[in-house]
Amino acid sequence: MDSSRPGISTGDAGLPEMSRATPRLDFVDDFRESADAIRLLKSLTERAAAGLPAAGRTHATDGGATELKVMEVCGTHTMAISRHGIRQTLPPWLKLISGPGCPVCVTANRDIDAFIEMAQLPGVIAATFGDMLKVPGTRTGLAEARSSGADVRVVYSTLDALQIARDNPGRRVVFFGVGFETTAPTVAAALIEAQRSGLENFLVHSVHKLVPPALAALCASPEMAMDAFLCPGHVSAIIGPDAYRPVAAEHGLPCVIAGFEPVDILLSLNMIMDQLEAGKAGVAVQYSRGVRPQGNPAAMELLYSVFEPCDADWRGLGRIPASGLMLREEFLPHDAQKVLEVDTGYSREPRGCICGQILTGRKRPPECGLFAGECNPDHPVGPCMVSSEGTCAAYFHYEM
């Protein structure tokens, strides 16, 4: 262990690996060290000379070469990969593909339209995180609805929305519950408090998603051909690594839970290559400073005390069984979809937008005819250009 570099030790091959000592969370710069990144890149490049690409499923290109495909399933990873130029520095045979890791982006248009309709009902205050404000619906968006008189408020936490409900007892406050397992426990906590406090005017439009069922759906699709997953760090801090073991075991795909800095990502790719080289497919944790073997049992218990799994619509993936979260029976009085009936029969995907194909790795943003032209951060056509975790936004800001 190099005492001058807390959180990183040197492994057998002279490459930095995660320390098994007590993790430190206050040395982010250690995972941005250029010397470590260069050594890790060199390791990946040298594997090509040893013929490692043949260890994966390999995919033939038009030129007859083979390549390995690794999908990151986290919007924060997607943004980090683009921001740090990682994609451009990798060996040509190693391809990073962006998957459905942005919760805003995977939310189906029908669910977005439903919340916009709720926001325009008399006596309703709509509370949402800022990312959703500019996401276009079929007919209009939240920003346009607010300009037309709807009371739409941006909040920074679910508890902010709960306070709005306390301050406005004569109005219904609808919170847009968008997110994965990371944010769902906070919504659960707010609902428990609302029920305890008798805040009957606090409602949640829950379109929360569960990550493991989406990975299984990707693996089961005949159109999807990939060799491994970079698994999300934040989600994994809640659900723990065991949640990915069925995907690794049933589909033979290595899974590595990665941190968000350049050394994190490059080290995780080397860990994937180690598995492929050994002919193994398991779940490894690179982001050990943030992810415990058991995840966060308290958060999971809180989540499932309020929610239960349900079938859910994902943009690009369609309806996936048991991949969403709905309120349990005792919390149904706070379910906006039950209390407020709205018509979304008109919902459709934006014309010309290929966000669904981008979210499933079938297309890259530059392959969309609207990208960086009609669709841009100031005037987005699809959600992948809006969100701070969207693949199109990442490419627009860092890879053009």
Query: Domain holding 64: CATH number?
Result: 3.40.50.11750
pTM, full prediction: 0.90
Q: DSSP string of 93-160?
A: TEEEEE-S--HHHHB-HHHHHHHHHHHTSTTEEEEE-GGGGG-B-SS-BHHHHHHTT-EEEE-SSHHH
In a domain, 291, yes or no: no
Nearest-CA neighbor of 98 among 370, 369, 367? 367
* Least confident stretch, 61-65, 172-176, 242-246: 61-65
As for how many domains the chain has, the answer is: 3
Q: Which has the higher per-residue pLDDT, 58 or 396?
A: 396
The answer on 327 and 197 residing in a single domain is: yes
Residue 349 lies in a domain: no
In this structure, of 31-40, 43-52, 128-137, 169-178, the range with the lowest mean pLDDT score is 43-52
Q: For residue 173, what is the enclosing H or E element?
A: strand 172-177
Residue-by-residue DSSP string for 316-340: TTEEEEEEEEEE-GGGGGGBHHHHS
Q: Could you tell me the end-to-end alpha-carbon distance of the chain, in angstroms, rounded to an integer? A: 39
**CATH number reported for the structural domain that contains residue 109 in this entry:** 3.40.50.11740
The whole-chain average pLDDT of the chain stands at: 90
Q: What is the pLDDT of residues 77-98, one digit of tens each?
A: 999 999 999 999 999 999 999 9
Q: Is residue 255 part of a domain?
A: yes
Same domain, 36 and 120: no
Note the pLDDT of residue 19.
38
Bridge partner residues of 172 (DSSP):
124
User: Looking at the structure, do residues 124 and 204 belong to the same domain, yes or no?
Assistant: yes
pLDDT of 15 > 90? The answer is no
pLDDT tens digit sequence for 112-152: 999 999 999 999 999 999 989 999 999 999 999 999 999 99
- Dihedrals φ, ψ of 17, to 5°? -135, 165
Judge whether 236 lies within some domain. no
Query: Is there a domain that residue 165 lies in?
Result: yes
Asked if residue 58 and residue 135 are part of one domain, the reply reads: no
SS3 content of the chain, % helix, strand, coil (to 5): 45, 20, 40
307, 182: one domain: yes
* Residue with the larger pLDDT of the pair 229 and 67: 229
Supply φ then ψ for residue 115, to 5 degrees: -70, -40
Average the pLDDT over each of 33-37, 164-168, 370-374 and give the range with the smallest value.
33-37
Q: Give yes or no: residues 110 and 179 share one domain.
A: yes
Q: What's the CA gap between 385 and 92, in Å, rounded?
A: 26
DSSP 273: H
**Is the CB of residue 344 less than 8 Å from the CB of residue 107?**
no
Q: Are residues 201 and 334 in the same domain?
A: yes
Residue 119 lies in a domain: yes
- The CA radius of gyration of the chain, in Å to the nearest whole number, is 22
35 and 69 in a single domain? The answer is: yes
Which tens digit of pLDDT belongs to each residue from 324-360?
999 999 999 999 999 999 999 999 999 999 999 999 9
- DSSP 8-state assignment for residue 72: E
Q: Do residues 111 and 196 both lie within one domain?
A: yes
Judge whether 232 lies within some domain: no
In this structure, the answer to whether residues 133 and 246 fall within a common structural domain is: no
Instruction: Say how far apart CA 331 and CA 22 lie, in whole Å.
Output: 40
Window from 70-74, 317-321, 386-390 with minimum mean pLDDT = 386-390
What backbone phi and psi angles, to 5 degrees, belong to 110?
A: -60, -40
Confidence category of residue 65, pLDDT binned at 50, 70, 90 = low
For 365-387, what is each residue's pLDDT tens digit?
999 999 999 999 999 999 999 98
Judgement on whether residues 248 and 176 belong to the same structural domain of the protein: no
Label residue 225 by pLDDT band (50, 70, 90): confident
- The confidence score (pLDDT) of residue 245 equals 97
Domain boundary among 250, 265, 285: 285
| Those residues with Cβ within 8 angstroms of residue 9's Cβ, 6 or more apart along the chain or in another chain | 1, 2, 16, 17, 18, 19
pLDDT cut 90: percent of the chain above it = 82
Are residues 379 and 373 in contact, defined by beta-carbon separation less than 8 angstroms? no
* Separation of alpha carbons 193 and 187, rounded Å: 10
Domain that holds residue 327: 105-210+296-339
Q: What is the pLDDT of residue 223?
A: 81
**12 with 91, same domain?**
yes
